[in-house]
Structure 1
Amino acid sequence: MPSPFSRRRFLTVAALGAAVTLGGCGFRLRGPQPLDFATIHVGVSEFSELGALLRRQISTSGTTTVVEDPAKADVKLQMLANEREREILSLTGSGKVREYQLTQRMRFRLTDKSGAELIAPTNILARREYTFDDSLILGKEQEEALLFKDMQTDLVQQLMRRLAVVRRPQ
């Protein structure tokens, strides 16, 4: 029977080995990514859920400040569309809805001060599916709202990754 000391030593050595291996291959946790511009104007109301989330994510980049005056911004993020859809995926034998597919689509573009496009109009999309039950309608409405919120967060993360790779011409 192995002693507790030898087991602890083994776990310590294994954790240290994993840390060295991951560090040596270039692995690092994804955190806020720096953006290549000092100021940005976000063309979404700061009072909307999407506007607040975008501003919060941009401010965590540590390199970029959101400005409300588009004339003072290095770049302008324009939200061209933000659409939500719910589509029936399947029905029960009696014709009642069994599954829905939720889709959220964002269309945006990024321009510099002169109006030149840094990111042409781009669509990003998130989908989720969920089962539906008429007897649990309140719970299913809450589940749908949570799924839409999760999709919006996912889309903002996708948008932030696209903003992080933009390099302004010097």
Structure 2
Amino acid sequence: MTLSLKRRQLLVGSAALAASALLAGCGFRLRGPQPLAFATLHIGISEYAELGAILRRQVATSGTTTVVEDAAQAEARLQILSNQREREILSLTGSGKVREYQLTQRIRFRLIDRNGQEMIPPTNLLARREYTFNDEAVLGKSEEESLLFRDMQSDLVSQIMRRLAAYRRPS
């Protein structure tokens, strides 16, 4: 009985070791802050705007880049060309009341160097979410909409950060 238990523990241990070796060998890495290719960055949106604050926080966690407020001192400038939020009716009930909404957030940005040369050309990012609406729970559905917009914005900021991290200087 104890021999069988030891064999089972040995098999489980070697299976775990093999799985971790496979994950390490394939280049798997937990998502985390990624280094950016420039030391200083100017973000062209107010630090008091929700999007500006989130972007500044994400850049600060990269560990390699400092956000500067003076665009002339920055190695790169992130320009937010547009940030739009929309809500449209997706479906109606038989009595003509709204059943579902579709929320959309679009961000258009570009990255330029201190000489005005494009490092990342104007890029459009889009996030969509749908939710059901209920006239009897207007306050709750309003809060749900706010949470969905916050989630979309977080997703779009993550996409921007991945694009910034993927940029490599031309040789």
| Both proteins in one fold, TM over 0.5 | yes
Query: For 2:147 and 2:161, how far apart are their aligned partners in 1?
Result: 21
Aligned match of 1:71: 72
Q: Does 1:112 align with 2:139?
A: no
Q: Which amino acid aligns with 1:165?
A: A
Q: Give the structure-1-normalised TM-score.
A: 0.92
Q: Offset at 1:13?
A: 3.2
Distance in structure 2 (CA, Å) of the matches to 1:137 and 1:162: 37
Match of 1:152 in 2: 153
Report what 1:166 is aligned to: 167
SS at match of 2:31: coil
Correspondences of 1:102-141 after superposition (within 5 Å): 102-141=103-142
Q: Which residue of 2 aligns with 1:55?
A: 56
- Equivalent-residue separation in structure 1 for 2:138 and 2:169 (angstroms): 49
Q: Give the number of equivalent residue pairs.
A: 170
- After superposition, the CA RMSD in angstroms is 1.9
Q: The residue matched to 2:130 in structure 1 has which SS?
A: strand
Which residue does 1:88 correspond to in 2? Answer: 89
Task: Work out the CA distance in 2 between the residues paired with 1:151 and 1:60.
Answer: 20
Deviations 1:75-126 (A, max 9, x none): 1111111000001111111111111110000011111010011111111000
Q: 2:104 and 2:11 mapped to 1: Cα distance?
A: 48
* C-alpha distance 9-137 of structure 1, shift in aligned 2 (>3 A): farther
SS in 1 for 2:141: helix
Q: What is the TM-score of this pair, normalised by structure 2? A: 0.92
1:165 CA drift (Å): 1.7
Q: 1:4 to 1:145 in 2, by over 3 A?
A: farther
Structure 1 unaligned residues grouped into runs of 5+: none
Over 3 Å counting, the alpha-carbon distance change for 1:7 and 1:99 in structure 2 is farther
Report the Cα distance in structure 2 between the residues aligned to 1:10 and 1:163, rounded to whole angstroms: 44
Deviation at 1:25, TM superposition (A): 1.4
- Displacement after TM superposition at 1:9 (Å): 4.7
Say yes or no: does 1:18 pair with 2:14. no
Kindly tell me: are residues 42 and 7 of structure 1, through their superposed partners in 2, closer, same or farther at Cα, counting changes over 3 Å?
same
Report the CA distance shift for 1:117/1:13 in structure 2 as closer, same or farther (over 3 A): same
Q: Which runs of 5+ in 2 are unaligned?
A: none
In structure 2, what is the Cα distance between the partners aligned to 1:114 and 1:11? 58
